[in-house]
Amino acid sequence: MPCSSYLLFAALLYVVVSEEAVWTPDTIVVQYGYPRSASTLQWETLCTLVTVKLMSLGKGSRPSCRFLASEPTEPLASFSVLKAHRPRFDLKALTKWGRRVMVFYSASRNDDKWPGAIVTQHFEDVSVDALGSLKKYVKIFNLTKSEENRATYYLKAWDILRLCCGGQQSLANRLRLHGCAPLRLPEDPLDPHCDYYNLTAVEENHFDNDVYKYLYKKPYHGRCQKQQDLIVQGLDLNGEHFETCAKLIQKWGTKTDSTTSQQGSEQQRRQKQKTRH
C-alpha cells in the first residue's frame, strides 16, 4: 500500500475507533489485516466473543459475522463482526448510522502499525500460541471468567480444525497429506501436529459445543475427512492442483521453511535407513 494511502487510512481508523474501548451490543466490530496474517483467527475470535456475550445477555440473536468487500448502502445488521482485507472505502462511512466502530488489526511485526487499532495481533505470536492473545480481549468485552472459559474451549477445537482441516489448512499438514517430507521437525512449536489428533472426534465435539449450536443451524459431519481425501487425491489450497513439494513450499512457505524442510527430509531418510537395517 502506498505511503500516502497508508497515512490516510490510518488517520481514518483513528477517527472511527471509539476512545472508550469497551464493547457494547450496538458496536460494529471490524477486523482488518492483510491476507495470510492470521486475520481469520482474529476475526473468528471476535465473532466468538460477541457470540458468548450475546448468549450471556440472553439476546436470542446470532452475530452477523461476514466479509466486507464494499461500502454498505444500508444499515448493518445488529451485532456485526466484519472482516476486511483492504477496504476500498472510507471506514468512517460505517458510523453514518450513529453506531460505534471498533477496529482490530492483524499483522506481522515488520508490517506497518495502525494508530487507533484496539488490539494488534502479531502473526509471530499466534503462530506459536493461537489463543495466547485472548487475554487482551477480556477487558474490552468485559468477559467473566465463565465467558472466557467458554470462548477458549470453543476456539481450541476451532483452531485445531483450522490448521488440520479445510481448504486453507496449514502448509505443514498439506505437505504431509501430499506425502512430502515433514516441513518442520516434531519438536518445532510451529508444527501443528495434526497427526496427533483424532480429527473426527475433534470435529464432532466441536459441533456439539453450545457456542457452535448458537452460531450455526447445522453441523457438517465428515467434512474434515472429505477435505483431507481431496488433498490426498491431488488438490491443494483453494482447490488448486498440487504439482510438487518444492513448488508448494516455494509458493506458500516462509524464508525458513526450505531449511526446515531439508532437515525433515534428512531425518526421514535416516529413519528409512534405520528401518531397513
Sheet holding 28-33, edge to edge: 64-67, 80-84, 28-33, 101-107, 120-122
Evaluate whether 138 touches 53 at the Cβ level (below 8 Å): no
Give the pLDDT confidence score for residue 211 in this predicted structure: 97
Q: What is the pTM of this model?
A: 0.83
Q: Which residues contact 213 (CB under 8 A, 6 or more apart)?
A: none
pLDDT of residue 277: 47
Q: How many CB atoms lie within 10 A of CB 105?
A: 24
The pLDDT of residue 173: 95
Residue 175 has pLDDT above 90, yes or no: yes
Rounded to whole angstroms, how far apart are CA atoms 149 and 239? 35
80-94, 169-183, 254-268 — which one is most confidently predicted on average?
169-183
Residues with Cβ within 8 Å of 236's Cβ and at least 6 positions away in sequence, in order, are 174, 178, 242, 248
Q: How many C-beta atoms lie closer than 10 Å to residue 33's C-beta?
A: 27
Instruction: Please say if the pLDDT value at position 3 is more than 50.
Output: no
Q: For residue 185, what pLDDT band results from cuts at 50, 70 and 90?
A: confident
Contacts of 92 (CB under 8 A, 6+ apart): 12, 15, 16
Rounded to an integer, what distance in angstroms lies between the CA atom of residue 85 and that of residue 37?
10
In this model, does residue 13 exceed pLDDT 80? no
In the chain, % of residues over pLDDT 70: 83
For the cut 50, the answer to whether the pLDDT of residue 253 exceeds it is: yes
* pLDDT score for 102: 93
Domain boundaries, the chain: 3-143, 165-276
Half-sphere exposure of 205 (CA within 13 A, CB side): 14
Q: What is the mean pLDDT of the chain?
A: 84
- Contact predicate 24/12, CB 8 Å: no
Among the ranges 88-92, 218-222, 231-235, which has the highest mean pLDDT value? 231-235
